[in-house]
Structure 1
Amino acid sequence: MAEDLFLGHRPMLLALAYRLLGQVTEAEDVVQDAWLRWSAADQGAVVNPAAFLTTVTTRLALDRLRSAAVRREVYIGPWLPEPLPTAADPAADPAADPAESLALRETASMGMLLLLDRLSPPERAVFVLREAFDLPYEEIAAILERTEDSCRQLLSRARRRVASERRVRPVTAPTDARPLVEAFLAAAQGGDLGRLRSLLREDVVVTTDGNGMARAGRHPIHGAEKAARLFAAVFERFYAGTDITFATYNNAPAFVIRTPVREVVYVFGCDAEGRIAEVYAVLNPDKLRHLSRGGPSAG
C-alpha cells in the first residue's frame, strides 16, 4: 500500500526534482531518498501524503542544489542541464490538462532551466512550485518554512529576472520545429553557409558543454555568421558519415550523433518565426549516461 502510493506520486516527484536540479541522475537520487524517508515515516500520521512527499523532495533537492553551486566553481566551460527525454507532442494526450502541460513543458526547456539556474535556491523553488505545479502559497510557505508574504516576494523577483533575461519562448510542440532542424542538419552536413545563416536567428546563441572531457567551446558562440561557420566546420571534420538520430529532449526538437568515440546530443530552441534561436550541444559523457539506460521521463 505504502509503495503503491509512492509509485503513484513518483512521476510528479521526478518532474519536480529535475526542474529544481537540471539533472536527471540527481533527480532520481533525490526521489530515491524521498522514498526512504516515506518508508521510514509513520504513514498513519501523515494527513496529506502528496504534501509530505512534495515537501521532502523539495528540501532534499535544495540541499543538493546548494552543494552543486560549489561544484560548479570548478566546472570547465559552460554548464548545461542533462538532456531529458520527453514526448514529441504531449498535447496529443486527450487526458492532459493543456494549461498544466504548457507550464510543465516550458519549465523543463533548456533555456528555462538555465534561467532558473541563475536564481537563488529559494527563488527557484518558489518559481517551480508555483509556476509549474500551481501549489498554493500556503503550501509553498510550509515547504520552505517561510511566510506567505516572503514567498510572494521571492516569486515576484524570480518572475522579473526570468522575464528580463528570457530570449525566446519555445514553439508549442517539438513536431512543429522538426522540419527546421532537419533543414539545419542537411545544411550543416553539406557545408551550406548561406542556408545555415538563413535558418539561424541573427542573435542565435550556441552553448557547448564538455567539462574538459570532450572537445567543446569554453564560451558560448553568438551570432548567425559565427555559428554557421562553426557548424559547417564541425560537421565536416567530426561528424561526416556518422549515425544521426532525431529525438525530442526537454520538449524541444533534437538529434543524437553517435561517433566511434563519443555520443553528442544537440537540443534546439526555435522561435515562432521559424528560425533557430538557441543550440545546446551536450558532449559531457557524464550527462548522457542516463540516456543509454532509458532513464525515466520527468517531463
Structure 2
Amino acid sequence: MALTVNDVDRFTASRPRLEAIAYRLLGSASEAEDAVQDTFLRWQTADVDRIEVPEAWLTKVLTNLCLNQLTSARARRETYVGEWLPEPLLAGDPMLGPADTAEQRESVSYAVLTLLERLTPNERAVYVLREAFAYTHREIAEILDLTESACQQIFHRAKKHVADGRSRTEVDEAAARRIVEEFLAAATSGQTDLLVQMLTKDAVSIGDGGGKVPARAKAFEGAVAVAKFMRGLFKPSQAKRSLVGGSAEVYVTTANGAPAVVAVVDGRVVGVMCLEITTEGIVAFRNQVNPDKLHRATGRWAADDHGEPLYTAF
C-alpha cells in the first residue's frame, strides 16, 4: 500500500528522535542513519492505518533493528584493527538528541557511549530508552517483548555498570574548557612534567584509526606514559603533515556534549580528541582519527563558524 503524504510526514516528524535513539544504541552515525532508513522501508510496507500509536511502532521496529545490528557488530569488532571507539558528534548535531536533563546529556557523552559497549544489547537498549528518552518500563517491555520486571532488573544492572565506570565527579563546562586550553599549552610546550600534573595517575589515552590511520593497538596507561605520548603527538613533523595532507589547525570545541580538541586540514576534520575531565584531573583521552568515522563531523564543521584556530599543529 502506497504511503500518503500524511504518512510520510508522520515518519519525518519522528526521524530526529529515531536517529538519536539509533546513534546511542549503535555508537555510529552512519549505522544509525541506515537503521532509520530500514525502519522507513518497513513503514512503507506496513498497513499504517491499523497502527494505533505510530511512535511506539516505529520505536519498536528501530530498536529491534539496532539490536540485530549490535549482535553482528560485536562479531565484526573482534576483527577490527586496533581499538574501537564511537563516532563523535560535534556541537549542534541534531543526532545528539535531547539534552534537557543531566541523564540525557550523560547518555550521549563519549565516555558513556564507550562504557555502553560493555553492556549486552538488551542492557544497552533498556538503558538508552529509559535514561535518555524517559520511556516507562512498561513501554520498554512492549518494545523488547520482555516482562516489566525483567526490564527493571536489566535497567538497574546496566545503570550500575555505567555508574561503576563513572565514579568521579566531572567539572563544569567553563572549567573543563579552561583545562583543555591549559592542556594544549602544556602539550605544545613539550614539557612532560606539566602534562603529568594535569592527569590522574590512572589516566589513559585510546586511539581509533580503524587500520586507515596509524594508532596504537593498545591504550597508553598511566600519567607518565600518556603525557609522553601527548608530547610526541603535538610535536610538529613532516611525517604528520604528509599523513593528514597538510598542517592541521587545532580548535577547542565540544563533541558529544563535552570539551574536545578538533584538528582540521583544509576544512576536513582529521581528528577529534574527546577528553574526560574530573575534579581530580584529566582521566581519559579518546582520539578518533579513523576517516570513516569523521565524515559527519566534517559536514557539521563546515556548517558553523569557529573563529580562529587556537594554533596550527604538525
TM-score tier, shorter chain, comes to 0.7 to 0.9
After superposition, the C-alpha distances for 1:103-149 in whole angstroms (9 at most, x for unaligned) are: 22101111111111111101111111111111111111111111112
Is 1:54 aligned with 2:59? yes
Partner residue, 1:251: 257
Partner residue, 1:12: 17
Indicate which of 274, 284, 294 corresponds to 1:278: 284
CA distance in 1 between counterparts of 2:214 and 2:12 reads: 40
Corresponding residue pairs, total: 284
After superposition, the C-alpha distances for 1:225-277 in whole angstroms (9 at most, x for unaligned) are: 1111111112114568531122211111112213589811111111135x221
TM, length-normalised to structure 2: 0.84
**Aligned positions of 1:72-151 closer than 5 A:** 72-87=77-92, 98-99=100-101, 102-151=102-151
CA distance in 1 between counterparts of 2:24 and 2:100 reads: 19
Partner residue, 1:267: 274
CA distance in 1 between counterparts of 2:299 and 2:163 reads: 36
Indicate which of 248, 272, 287 corresponds to 1:242: 248
Contact conserved, 1:170 with 1:252, CA < 8 A, in 2?
no
Stretches of structure 1 lacking an aligned partner (at least 5 in a row): 89-95
After superposition, the C-alpha distances for 1:131-187 in whole angstroms (9 at most, x for unaligned) are: 1111111111111111112112211221222222335454454x4411111111111
CA distance in 1 between counterparts of 2:82 and 2:92 reads: 30
Is 1:191 aligned with 2:190? yes
Question: What secondary structure is seen at the aligned counterpart in 2 of 1:255?
Answer: strand
The amino acid across from 1:263 in the alignment is V
Could you say if the C-alpha distance between residues 288 and 98 of structure 1 is closer, same or farther in structure 2, counting changes exceeding 3 Å? closer
State the 1:87 CA deviation: 4.1
Could you say if the C-alpha distance between residues 170 and 109 of structure 1 is closer, same or farther in structure 2, counting changes exceeding 3 Å? farther
Contact conserved, 2:269 with 2:294, CA < 8 A, in 1?
no
Partner residue, 2:299: 293
Contact conserved, 1:106 with 1:170, CA < 8 A, in 2?
no
Could you say if the C-alpha distance between residues 262 and 161 of structure 1 is closer, same or farther in structure 2, counting changes exceeding 3 Å? closer
Moved more, 42-51 or 75-84: 42-51
Question: What secondary structure is seen at the aligned counterpart in 1 of 2:300?
Answer: coil
The amino acid across from 2:146 in the alignment is R
Could you say if the C-alpha distance between residues 225 and 247 of structure 1 is closer, same or farther in structure 2, counting changes exceeding 3 Å? same
CA distance in 2 between counterparts of 1:263 and 1:98 reads: 30
Contact conserved, 2:99 with 2:105, CA < 8 A, in 1?
no
Contact conserved, 1:17 with 1:31, CA < 8 A, in 2?
yes
Moved more, 230-239 or 76-85: 230-239
State the 1:77 CA deviation: 1.5
The amino acid across from 2:275 in the alignment is F
CA distance in 2 between counterparts of 1:48 and 1:172 reads: 40
State the 1:289 CA deviation: 1.7
The amino acid across from 1:285 in the alignment is P
CA distance in 2 between counterparts of 1:169 and 1:63 reads: 35
CA distance in 1 between counterparts of 2:61 and 2:223 reads: 45
Question: What secondary structure is seen at the aligned counterpart in 2 of 1:30?
Answer: helix
TM, length-normalised to structure 1: 0.88
CA distance in 2 between counterparts of 1:24 and 1:282 reads: 14
CA distance in 2 between counterparts of 1:60 and 1:170 reads: 34
Question: What secondary structure is seen at the aligned counterpart in 2 of 1:263?
Answer: strand
Contact conserved, 1:188 with 1:235, CA < 8 A, in 2?
yes
CA distance in 2 between counterparts of 1:111 and 1:232 reads: 23
Stretches of structure 2 lacking an aligned partner (at least 5 in a row): 1-5, 242-246, 302-314
Question: What secondary structure is seen at the aligned counterpart in 2 of 1:163?
Answer: helix
**Aligned positions of 1:218-237 closer than 5 A:** 218-237=217-236
State the 1:294 CA deviation: 3.2
Could you say if the C-alpha distance between residues 139 and 60 of structure 1 is closer, same or farther in structure 2, counting changes exceeding 3 Å? same
Partner residue, 1:91: none
State the superposition RMSD in angstroms. 2.3
Could you say if the C-alpha distance between residues 141 and 281 of structure 1 is closer, same or farther in structure 2, counting changes exceeding 3 Å? same
